[in-house]
């Protein structure tokens, strides 16, 4: 297999582990390359994110490293995360499990598709989110007013500090901290979670991807849209956000660990 390695570059131990893993994988007969930033830290030649190709991308890091990798790839390649972070919902393997996994899967692996959301503002496509798009004011302690339209019909109006437009994968991230439900990633839907809503009646919504979903900013306060914590866009006053299912889902290696077992284990070890 042709394998690309990506490491968090702010941790010397993670970089050393990645270098050792590269040698281990080469010893198993794989063609191994390093992502450009990782390679630079290890004094080697690398390949930029936008040119990543091959059979597998292995990310040594936390969820932020996995999100960055998925966000930067022009074409989605199956990703396997090795957890070198705090929780690692997107990183299925612990460092000590990697060698046994690769030894047992030399001929291939099963791939799981994870829905992403495509976000456009006033007709201009801004990008895809694996976890969430976050709409917040750039003025602290100021609330925003939102309108939610499903198939052209007003479904909700509320005031809140912000709004999370999350995927099922993102339901265990910021959305969970904001009071949203944990959603099975095999479900395809848009999860809307208000941040600190003014009225207690403003609750999270899970909306089918088969519906047309638009969110309007019904306020003149300046706001931003943040995609997966990686890209930030300034929103014009009274902007309209169109939410669709991305045509390019993220691809993750299935390691055999059941989703809800993983969630239970990680939540109990926070």
Give the span between the Cα atoms of 190 and 116, in whole angstroms.
9
Give the span between the Cα atoms of 67 and 127, in whole angstroms.
13
Query: Where would I find the beta strands (DSSP E) of the chain?
Result: 2-7, 31-34, 56-61, 79-83, 110-114, 117-121, 124-129, 132-137, 144-150, 153-160, 162-166, 189-195, 205-208, 213-217, 223-227, 231-235, 240-245, 250-254
Residue position matching structure tokens 């931003």: 224
- In sequence order, which residues have a C-beta less than 8 Å from that of residue 261 and are 6 or more positions away? none
- Token representation of residue 79: 């990703």
Give the span between the Cα atoms of 167 and 176, in whole angstroms.
11
Query: Which residues share a beta bridge with 64?
Result: none
Instruction: Please say if 138 is a catalytic residue.
Output: no
Residue of 11, 63, 92, 228 marked catalytic:
63
Residues with a catalytic annotation lie at 63
């Amino acid at each position: 297999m042709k394998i690309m390695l990506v490491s968090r570059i702010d941790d010397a131990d993670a970089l050393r582990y990645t270098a050792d893993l590269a040698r281990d994988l080469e010893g198993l007969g794989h063609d191994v390359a390093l992502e450009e930033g990782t390679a630079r830290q290890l004094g080697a030649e690398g390949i930029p994110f936008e040119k990543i190709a091959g059979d597998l991308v292995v990310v040594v890091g936390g969820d932020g490293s996995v999100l960055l990798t998925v966000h930067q790839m022009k074409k989605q390649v199956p990703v396997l995360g090795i957890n070198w972070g705090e929780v690692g919902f997107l990183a299925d393997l612990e460092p000590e499990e990697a060698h046994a996994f690769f030894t047992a899967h030399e001929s291939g692996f099963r791939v799981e598709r994870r829905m992403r959301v495509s976000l456009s503002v006033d007709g201009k496509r801004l990008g895809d989110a694996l976890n969430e798009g976050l709409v917040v004011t750039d003025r602290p302690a100021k609330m925003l007013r939102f309108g939610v339209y499903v198939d052209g019909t007003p479904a909700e109006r509320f005031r809140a500090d912000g709004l999370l437009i999350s995927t099922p994968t993102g339901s265990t991230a910021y959305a969970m901290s904001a009071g949203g439900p944990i959603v099975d990633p095999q479900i395809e839907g848009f999860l809307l979670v208000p941040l600190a809503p003014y009225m207690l009646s403003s609750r999270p919504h899970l909306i089918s991807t088969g519906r047309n979903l638009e969110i309007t900013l019904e306020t003149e306060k300046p706001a931003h849209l943040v995609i997966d914590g990686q890209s930030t866009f300034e929103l014009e006053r009274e902007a309209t956000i169109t939410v669709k299912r991305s045509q390019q889902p993220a691809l993750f290696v299935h390691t055999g660990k059941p989703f809800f077992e993983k969630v239970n284990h990680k939540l109990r070890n926070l």
